[in-house]
Structure 1
Amino acid sequence: MSDGGVNDTGDVVYYCDEMFDFETISGAIFIVIFIFSLIGNVLLLCVLVIDKNLKNVTSLFILNLAVSDLVFTVTLPFWAVYYLHHWVFGDFACKFITAAYIVGLYSSVILLTAMTVDRFVTVVLQNWPSNHVRQRCAAGACAAAWVISIAASVSDAIKVKVETHWNDLSKCEDPSDGSDVNVGYYLQVSLLFFLPFAIIVFCYSAILKTVLQTSNRKKHRTVVAIFCIVTAFFICWGPYNILLVIQSLYDPIGCYAIECLYTAHAICRILAFSHCCMNPLLYMLSERSRKHLGQLLHCKNARRKNRERTNGQSTSVIPNAAFIAQNSALMLELPSK
């Protein structure tokens, strides 16, 4: 939230002119992202269920990524209200939404890393004993992603709490400050973001080198699809995480530096939060996924047309019944005259 031109950086307090209100813009954009992400990821889950090919390792990873994105998406309306107004949901919601935010972020990182390692072993090493063993490894990786991300969220959920500041606005934030907090944050970000990024870069360097030496077009398509999903994640989340590290190390001096850092943080945050609606778009690039989506939408349209046809038949029966009833009444009345 904006402090209305008052910025405290350590022992020095700067009274700056009113800065551009990115909080209101962020809140409005988060609502739009929430709508697109909810629709896209629900459709993606429906497509995966229609496909009935969840024994496929890639489909299993995509399914878990969609669930991870939905977990993150659930937090967006709360952040939207927070940035548009202030935190009005209480202390428990502050902790729960923070935990869900961390779970959605880190589960995505771990799942993408596991998917990349799976591609690396399949394409480069080519030594999986059997598809059954590969499926069990993938299921174990998905379970581990959820366990690790939930465990990582616990410490953040415990630390955050609702505090009321000088302007009578409540904030959901971590009030602690100190070197121990920074060390814990650096360790978490290094292990759960930058280390997976290094693993992914190494794996894809080897994958691309191997793929370029083969002529298997199907294998090319799979590698390209996963590469696009991974790249989209780090393009969205990379700048935001790097900026958070910079903010923890750098104290801006002067209003211009403060405003630049504030603007960069707001833009990077919007870019990072928009990632949850990227995976459905990238997954739908494949012809097979578009085919299943078309079948899903066709089934919905067919059901709607059937309902309209049934309703039309029902409404046509009512006038006919009324007409018959009128004729019967006339026939009963005629002999009495």
Structure 2
Amino acid sequence: MANNPPVSGIGGGEEDTRDVYYLCDELFNFDTISAAFFILIFIISIAGNCLLLCVLVIYEDLKNVTNVFILNLACSDLIFTATLPFYAVYRLHHWVFGDFACKFITAVYIVGLYSSIILLTAMTVDRFTTVVLHNRPSNPVRRQRCAVAACVAAWGISIAASVSDAINVKVETTSDGNYCVGPSDVVDDKLGYYLQVSLLFFLPFAIIVFCYSAILKTVLQTKTQRKRHRTVVVVLGVVVAFFICWGPFNILLFIESFYEPEECADERLEIAYAVCRILAFSHCCMNPLLYTLSQKLRSHLFKLLRCEKIRQKNKERVIGQSTSVYPNVAFIAQNSVVVMEPK
């Protein structure tokens, strides 16, 4: 993080200049803390999402529409999580992985980010049609196909968006080291980026706010629907967590593109950007924690952690062995009687 050049104070003297430079130089560097948080988030996300996938595969019905979306969201989080070790090293030692890795990791990052928001939007629309419009298709297969089609579309759009970003980023070498950066001076590229963020972040956000406003209004008006739509609470928590994590980061990106800081403000903006980035990246480990709001998923998780299936098999094996003891005892007793018989 480069320090701002010294500027004159109010009096314009040399002492004031040194004081301003000293204050700028003392601002805290978040690179080490960011790298530590990235590794911590990586560990929690890998453990949580892998456990969630195991619960879904072993205990849940994957034909259920909500489970289809949750399964794809877990995969999306794991894809995003795979980039965190690279960014941790980047914060500590600049970019040391080469130009191809710069493009590939950027593409993986974009796929993980945008697939999450599109899947959340599709899941919200599904809840909206079910709760508000009461549009339950008579044929469950049709609803399943719609969910699968939405997931395929989410992955397709995310991959398409990642290709353009991967093409634009490159490794730049400076006196401080190598950096994996995107276009900074090309107006068309920047406009394309802002259009992409608007369509794939803020537009889904508007759709989700509209849908959930109607969903909550409908659920709260009818007491009988509160129990029927407990899934709404879980999905709402997932959506709120996404925008709490990613909202400040994306808003700050827009502010940073139009705001020209002066003196030490650039350093403070970098600190705010680092904090928002940690918050945004932490989202990939939030969903497994939020899914524990579901009592059914929570009970399945406890069963998985206690290895009940393995214990059940061991119990059956012990019972089988205990039942085989009786014929062995009878056989031994019979043999002992034979031995004791007089000839």
What's the TM-score, normalizing by structure 2?
A: 0.82
SS state of the match for residue 87, structure 1?
Answer: coil
Matched with 1:235 is: 244
AA in 2 matched with 1:61 = F
Question: Which structure is larger by alpha-carbon Rg, 1 or 2?
Answer: 2
**What is the CA–CA distance in structure 2 between the aligned matches of 1:164 and 1:40, rounded to whole Å?**
37
* 1:274 counterpart (270, 278, 282): 282
AA in 1 matched with 2:114 = Y
Deviations 1:234-286 (A, max 9, x none): 0000000000011111111221x212211110110000000000000001221
Matched with 1:113 is: 121
* 1:288 is the counterpart of 2:296: yes
Deviations 1:57-89 (A, max 9, x none): 100000000000000000000000000111111
* 1:37 is the counterpart of 2:23: no
Count of aligned positions: 297
Check the 8 A contact 2:30/2:274 in 1, yes or no: yes
SS state of the match for residue 88, structure 1?
Answer: coil
Matches within 5 A, 1:115-154: 115-130=123-138, 131-154=140-163
Matched with 1:104 is: 112
Q: What's the C-alpha RMSD, in Å, of the aligned pairs?
A: 2.0
**What is the CA–CA distance in structure 2 between the aligned matches of 1:220 and 1:175, rounded to whole Å?**
46
* 1:89 counterpart (87, 94, 97): 97
Q: 1:129 to 1:220 in 2, by over 3 A?
A: closer
Deviation (angstroms), 1:300: 7.5
Check the 8 A contact 2:119/2:154 in 1, yes or no: yes
Gaps of at least 5 residues in structure 2 are 6-19, 315-343
* 1:64 counterpart (64, 69, 72): 72
* 1:55 is the counterpart of 2:91: no
Deviation (angstroms), 1:18: 4.7
**What is the CA–CA distance in structure 2 between the aligned matches of 1:175 and 1:196, rounded to whole Å?**
25
Check the 8 A contact 2:242/2:283 in 1, yes or no: yes
Deviation (angstroms), 1:129: 2.5
SS state of the match for residue 125, structure 1?
Answer: coil
Q: 1:55 to 1:17 in 2, by over 3 A?
A: same
* 2:212 counterpart (184, 204, 209): 204
AA in 2 matched with 1:184 = G
AA in 2 matched with 1:124 = V
Gaps of at least 5 residues in structure 1 are 8-13, 307-337
Q: 1:141 to 1:270 in 2, by over 3 A?
A: same
Residue identity (%): 71
Matched with 1:190 is: 198
Matched with 2:180 is: 172
Matched with 1:323 is: none
Deviations 1:122-147 (A, max 9, x none): 00111232322111111000000000
* 1:27 counterpart (24, 35, 40): 35
SS state of the match for residue 275, structure 2?
Answer: helix
Deviations 1:88-133 (A, max 9, x none): 1111111110000000000000000000000000001112323221
**What is the CA–CA distance in structure 2 between the aligned matches of 1:209 and 1:52, rounded to whole Å?**
29
AA in 1 matched with 2:194 = Y
